[in-house]
Structure 1
Amino acid sequence: MRKALMIIIATLGLSGPVVADSGQRETVEALLIASGADSTLDAVYAQFDGMFANMAEQLKIEESERASFKKHMQEVNLMLRKEMNWDTLKAPMIDLYMAHYTENELQDMLAFYQSETGQSVVKKMPEVMAASMQITQQLMKDVYPKIMQMSKAYAEDLKKQRVAD
């Protein structure tokens, strides 16, 4: 009898965190859906489309090569959609949120994203993110040559230093 009681107590002790963990997972999943994380992938795919267009410019794809390049990019896009979809990302994202936020923080965020203001943020965020990416890309066009110039100067200095040593 005493052994059975110990097993029951041990089992109850183990099941408490599992139930809490399960409840927290449900909270995180609700938060991710309320915040539009599941639909954010569409914006990510659109960004990839923009990257593909830039890639065509960088590779100097000629008119005669456009059809094969387009076919290749469609294959890459299909692979991305297959490999990086919500079903694939959901569990790791839930784990990530659980590792960094308390239950109280999760509940507060969920309440925000379920609010009118939170839903407004969700609806506007893809446009805000796309615009911020354009700003960043534009700034990088100006900064990248400077980085390359600095790196080239450093490489020359390093080469001189190594010869001197």
Structure 2
Amino acid sequence: MLSARRLAQGDPGLLAAIERSQRLLHRRALVAGAASALPVPGLDWAVDAALLSRLIPAINHHFGLTPQQIDRLDPRERDKLQKAIAQVGALLVGKFITQDLLLRSARLIGVRLTTVQVARFVPLVGQAASAAIGYGAIRFLGQQHIQDCVRVVRQAGLALPPPTD
């Protein structure tokens, strides 16, 4: 699979949005990893859900793909965007993030559930493995979402919003 940077094909606006999104993703994935290392049942899933419910809209915002940003597009651009979203098959692009959407996304990393639950109770090595898996799972979902955003923006031919951070 192509990386988001390669999908951007040198577009400076897309590359900047990717960079901002990846910085944000890295910080959030570190928090998820730390929560996964703690031997408190269910804490990692609560943290993951909270992180994803804020992370996905923030990434969408960098690419001009929040529901509010989409509503401001003229009708022709909005139609092109909706077709691009459907063609790419992006689950979380341009949508309000609901618990159902988060659960469907989390199924992509379902193996993590049992591995982390068992591993975190093994002193040190298990907790380190749990932290790495927690970090990797959120990072994987975030990278997939960034790639979806790049594909949608390129397919629809949209201009990106100016950076806000």
TM-score, normalising length: structure 2: 0.30
Structure with higher helix content: 1
TM-score, normalising length: structure 1: 0.30
